[in-house]
């Protein structure tokens, strides 16, 4: 029983990482139909921001707290720049955004290699986040709990922004009907850029979280990007709750399968499960009702 519970917690913590990464993607993919392959490199940017901060700020805890907002800004700025330079020219060709941003991601990886070197680097975790808490025989790693809390906080913050602020209303209007939003006087271009800023910024926050569980390297984004996209595909675009449920479901499924088989078999089974799921709901778990034929 404790084995199952422990494994479930591992799954939930994998899910929390996935959720953090997929949250920004849901926003950019959902609103603009942009498939941003460079999202993984924004994660990397967030992770390297933490690394650089630790070099200048001695306290690991303080640097982590400073890194969170700073990584958001760094990755967000990169995202807004990418949107302004390339993506806004490609809104009519969503599939091509995938390929163009892949080219960008290649260049960003090389840039990281040139600046920070090809080998992985490591950050120190604050003392508070290195231990474990044991409750009723189940061991919770503190850093995993922190990531879980961070992911939920991000979901909460994003939900509040989308539901309560004027910006959120504008974003939702553009998602639901871009043309109608445009003729209603919403500056859709500016909304797009802001959305991209927030979505990419969340990738930066995810990058800070990832420094707590693994090494930081130029290819770290590639390791997560496909899984994160699968979360968005299964969750359905434009709905946060779809991503939340899917991220945790995939995380738990992955970890349970890894326990009973091997990592590689688990990957294959998860993929088969996703294809099977799409037979039932081709548009993902939650979809916006539209009148479009597609």
Partner 1 sequence: MTTTTTPSAKTAPVAQPSASLLERLRVPGAFLLGAVLLIGVAPLALSDFRLNLLAKYLCYAIVAVGVSLAWGRGGLLVLGQGVFFGLGGYAMAMHLKLTDAAATGQTLPDFMQLYGTGDTLPWWWQPFANPLFALAMTVLLPMAVAALLGFFVFRRRVKGAYFAILSQALAAALAIWLVGQQATTGGTNGLTDMRGFFGYDLNDPVNQRMVYFVIAAVLLLLMAAARQLFVSRYGELLVAVRDSEERVRFLGYDPANVKLVAYVVAAGMAGLAGALFVPAVGIISPALIGIVPSIGFVIGAAVGGRASLVGAVLGAIAVAWAQSTLSDAFPAAWTYLQGLLFVLAVGFLPGGLASLASVVRKRRTPTTTTPTPTGGTA
Look up tokens 């892949």; give the residue: 102
Q: Which of residues 113-172 bind partner 1 (CB under 8 A)?
A: 113-114
Q: Is 283 left (phi over 0), alpha (psi -120 to 50) or beta?
A: alpha
CA distance 128 to 240: 30
Binding of residue 103 to partner 1 (CB under 8 A):
yes
Binding test (CB under 8 A) with partner 1, winner from 166, 263, 289, 291:
263
Interacting span for partner 1 (CB under 8 A) from 10-18, 84-92, 140-148, 161-169:
84-92
**Shortest distance in whole angstroms from residue 34 CB to partner 1:** 9
Look up tokens 């990169």; give the residue: 78
Q: Give the tokens for residue 123.
A: 């950050």
Count residues near partner 1 (CB under 8 A): 43
Q: Are the C-beta atoms of 160 and 253 separated by less than 8 Å? A: no
Closer residue to partner 1 (CB): 40 or 150: 40
CA atoms lying within 13 Å on the CB side of residue 56: 7
Binding of residue 290 to partner 1 (CB under 8 A):
no
Torsion angle, alpha carbons of 94, 98, 99, 105, to 10 = 140
**Which stretch of DSSP H or E encloses residue 132?**
strand 132-135
The one-character DSSP state at 33 is -
Interacting span for partner 1 (CB under 8 A) from 85-93, 131-139, 141-149, 186-194:
85-93
Closer residue to partner 1 (CB): 53 or 90: 90
Binding test (CB under 8 A) with partner 1, winner from 2, 110, 132, 260:
110
Q: Are the C-beta atoms of 235 and 286 separated by less than 8 Å? A: yes
Binding of residue 106 to partner 1 (CB under 8 A):
yes
Q: How many CB atoms lie within 10 A of CB 49?
A: 25
Closer residue to partner 1 (CB): 2 or 110: 110
Binding test (CB under 8 A) with partner 1, winner from 62, 89, 122, 241:
89
**Interaction site with partner 1 (CB under 8 A):** 29, 33, 35, 86, 89-90, 93-96, 98-100, 102-107, 109-110, 113-114, 222, 226, 229-230, 233, 262-265, 267-268, 271, 274-276, 278-279, 282, 293-294
């Amino acid at each position: 029983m404790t084995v199952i519970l422990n494994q479930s917690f591992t799954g939930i913590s994998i899910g929390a990482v996935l959720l953090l990464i997929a949250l920004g993607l849901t926003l950019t993919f959902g609103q603009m139909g942009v498939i941003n392959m460079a999202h993984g490199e924004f994660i990397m940017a967030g992770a390297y921001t933490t690394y650089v901060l630790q070099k200048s700020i001695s306290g690991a805890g303080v640097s982590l707290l400073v890194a969170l907002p700073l990584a958001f800004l760094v990755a967000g700025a990169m995202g807004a720049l990418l949107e302004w330079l390339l993506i806004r020219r490609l809104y009519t060709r969503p599939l091509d955004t995938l390929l163009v941003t892949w080219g960008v991601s290649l260049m960003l990886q090389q840039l990281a290699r040139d600046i920070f070197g090809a080998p992985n680097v490591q950050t120190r975790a604050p003392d508070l986040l290195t231990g474990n808490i044991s409750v009723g025989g189940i061991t919770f790693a503190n850093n995993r709990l922190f990531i879980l809390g961070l992911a939920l906080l991000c979901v909460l913050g994003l939900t509040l922004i989308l539901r309560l602020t004027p910006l959120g209303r504008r974003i939702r209007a553009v998602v639901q009907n871009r043309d109608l939003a445009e003729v209603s006087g919403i500056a859709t271009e500016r909304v797009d850029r802001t959305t991209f800023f927030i979505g990419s910024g969340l990738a930066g926050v995810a990058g800070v979280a990832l420094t707590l569980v693994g090494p930081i390297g130029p290819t770290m984004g590639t390791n997560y990007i496909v899984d994160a996209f699968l979360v968005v595909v299964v969750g359905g675009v434009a709905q946060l709750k779809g991503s939340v449920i899917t991220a945790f479901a995939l995380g738990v499924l992955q970890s349970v399968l890894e326990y009973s088989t091997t990592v590689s078999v688990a990957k294959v089974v998860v993929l088969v499960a996703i294809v099977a799921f799409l037979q039932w709901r081709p548009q993902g778990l939650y979809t916006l009702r539209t009148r479009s034929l597609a």
